[in-house]
Structure 1
Amino acid sequence: MNLVKNILVLGAGELGTEILHSLANHPARNEHNISIAVLLRASTISSTEQSKIHQLDALRSLNISFVTGDIVNDAQHTLSSLFKPYDLVISCTGFIAGKGTQLKIAHAVLSAKIPRFIPWQFGVDYDVIGPGSAQDLFDEQLDVRRLLRSQSETAWLIVSTGMFTSFLFEGGVGIVDVQRATVRALGGWENKVTVTAPTDIGKITAEIVLGERQAGEEVFANKPIFIAGDTVSYAKVARIVEDLTGKPFQKTVLTVEDVEEALARDPTNSLHKYNVVFGQGRGVAWDVGETWNFKAGIPALTAEEWAKMNLV
């Protein structure tokens, strides 16, 4: 296959924006005259919200073009026709799009015979977690993998990132609450979780796709690539926040059994579903020293570095 020349990114949320900026600013972009486009809803492109206008202007300033489409409401064949001009599609539309969307995107990509595809799998190791987990959305991720593995026309790669680093420290997630000085371990204090900051995911993904060491191609080897900023135990997370704030935190363990009982009482609670999976500790952590970015010499923020930049 030839070098990637035309890239379409689906969505410009937190992660999509980081990937777009990193692709646009990568040295290979100008050197090889690579075009970059982003698929956005018509309502987003025409938005009068100042924050949206500012975001779109920033993308335009990077010579990123806009493609009007709606991955939720457009039919598969419509999406396929939108994808067809591109030789790489990167999906940055997460679970908020709803059930069935990831499979629809994958089918549309294959129908369009796109040479390369990076699906929305920026997260945990779904193969290790397996089917039937507490987080039912994960089963569709496995369905996407089965679909991609069943064909040979479209080369693909999955970028496994672990949890976004910010999620460790956001009060609403329930691990660390700085305001209330509380920290909870999911499953146990020695349980570990891999985390990567979206900025680093964007930087590393751009290097995976466009970097010289890959010649742009061989990384699309039809398998996951693992990256990480850090792999930390919940005990270490507690030490980080106590050291940074200089005060003791109340510490509790959220056992898998407790969360499963809570989920049984509230079966649609997405946070409970995630907490069960992370509490079980399978497929949510890997050795940083074995990651693609570590071996490539690409630094990424540790949990402590992120916390120092954002919590102090």
Structure 2
Amino acid sequence: MQAAIANVKPRILVIGAGELGLAVLRGLAARSTELASVSVLLREAALQRTDEIEVIKQLDIAIEVADIADASAQALAGVLGRFDTVISCVGFTAGRGTQRKLTEAVLTAGVQRYVPWQFGVDYDVIGRNSPQDLFDEQLDVRDLLRAQTRTEWVIVSTGMFTSFLFDPSFGVVDLPARRVNALGSLDTAVTVTTARDIGTLTATIILHSPRFINQVVYTAGDTLTYADLADLLERVTGHSFERRALIVQRLQADLEQMPDDNLRKYRAVFAMGRGVAWDIAQTYNGVHGLAVTTAEAWARAHLDRA
């Protein structure tokens, strides 16, 4: 059956059209001749976002409508079952339990291949009961997929979105103060990939021959330490940057003061340094020599140098 599936152009459904969803849709549209069709699943309210809808129409992508938050797994299965490959680009903002429900819907529908929303860290290495409790649901999804054999799955581990590393709200890069707040230590490393590269690489991974079946595939635009990050900021801006280490114990204490703060949860997890960084040479793009955007290239394109 696997050989037969490999020889048929797939009908692909992407769930969600946010930053990541649009990037994946663009990546798939660029290889449309290898696909039977590409569709996107949106909520009714998303149809009012005219800019996104216009992009989707220009890419010649069909629109399906369903509310993944309100619909049951059984109802969603009725939609997902019409496609060969389902790629979920709906993250934690969709609400607790959504990742499990989508996976249950995929399995109920008997979808041939599923790419769950796991575009991030290595949840297997981080393990359960980490400071970011949302990660446990990601492990639930992996358990559901590994416990069955009917639906193939591929997980694309990308590390942190590159833009998030520089986001003021994350608190690592403080441009006005010209300071880098290293999570854990200056030698702690983090892997990042831009949303655009994730979109291109996901499409390439899905269409790779021979097929990736029931495995985790890693990408990396860059893997760097927080000391490296400070160095690149100095090169890009022409200013000196203070380097300050926020040790794990301090970040855990900060989290205890505000235990529901998601950003504090993320900082504590990344400070531990487990499952958040990997060698670029061993990634899909590294092995195949594919061009990706480094953290410094992203910074040069997006940061104000004033």
The CA deviation string for residues 217-244 of structure 1, in whole angstroms up to 9 with x for no partner, is: x21x212101111100000000111121
| SS in structure 1 of the partner of residue 67 of structure 2 | coil
The CA deviation string for residues 60-87 of structure 1, in whole angstroms up to 9 with x for no partner, is: 1211010001111111111100101100
| SS in structure 1 of the partner of residue 251 of structure 2 | helix
| SS in structure 2 of the partner of residue 140 of structure 1 | helix
**Paired residue total:** 299
Match among 280, 284, 288 for residue 296 of structure 1:
288
Name the aligned partner's letter for residue 185 of structure 1: A
Q: Distance between the aligned counterparts of 1:205 and 1:4, measured in 2?
A: 16
Q: Distance between the aligned counterparts of 1:191 and 1:62, measured in 2?
A: 40
The 5 Å alignment of 1:47-126 reads: 47=48, 52-126=49-123
TM-score by structure 2 length?
A: 0.95
Q: Which residue of structure 2 lines up, in the alignment, with residue 44 of structure 1?
A: 46
The 5 Å alignment of 1:226-305 reads: 226-305=218-297
Q: Distance between the aligned counterparts of 2:94 and 2:52, measured in 1?
A: 20
Name the aligned partner's letter for residue 19 of structure 2: E
1:33 deviates by 4.9
The 5 Å alignment of 1:129-144 reads: 129-144=126-141
Q: Distance between the aligned counterparts of 2:255 and 2:52, measured in 1?
A: 38
Q: Is 1:159–2:151 an aligned residue pair?
A: no
Moved over 3 A (4+): none
TM-score by structure 1 length?
A: 0.94
Name the aligned partner's letter for residue 13 of structure 1: G
Name the aligned partner's letter for residue 179 of structure 2: T
Structure 1 stretch displaced more, 151-160 or 236-245: 236-245
Q: Distance between the aligned counterparts of 2:137 and 2:95, measured in 1?
A: 11
Q: Distance between the aligned counterparts of 2:144 and 2:29, measured in 1?
A: 30
Q: Distance between the aligned counterparts of 1:85 and 1:190, measured in 2?
A: 48
| SS in structure 2 of the partner of residue 123 of structure 1 | coil
1:209 deviates by 1.2
| SS in structure 2 of the partner of residue 23 of structure 1 | helix
Consecutive unaligned residues in structure 1, runs of 5 or more = none
Q: Distance between the aligned counterparts of 1:273 and 1:138, measured in 2?
A: 10
Q: Distance between the aligned counterparts of 1:282 and 1:171, measured in 2?
A: 23
Identity %: 46
The CA deviation string for residues 79-123 of structure 1, in whole angstroms up to 9 with x for no partner, is: 100101100000000011111000000000000000000000000
Consecutive unaligned residues in structure 2, runs of 5 or more = none
Q: Is 1:9–2:17 an aligned residue pair?
A: no
Q: Distance between the aligned counterparts of 1:38 and 1:109, measured in 2?
A: 15
Q: Distance between the aligned counterparts of 1:126 and 1:202, measured in 2?
A: 21
The 5 Å alignment of 1:194-205 reads: 194-205=191-202
Name the aligned partner's letter for residue 225 of structure 1: V
1:251 deviates by 2.2
Is contact 2:227–2:243 with CA below 8 Å preserved after alignment? no
Structure 1 stretch displaced more, 241-250 or 189-198: 241-250
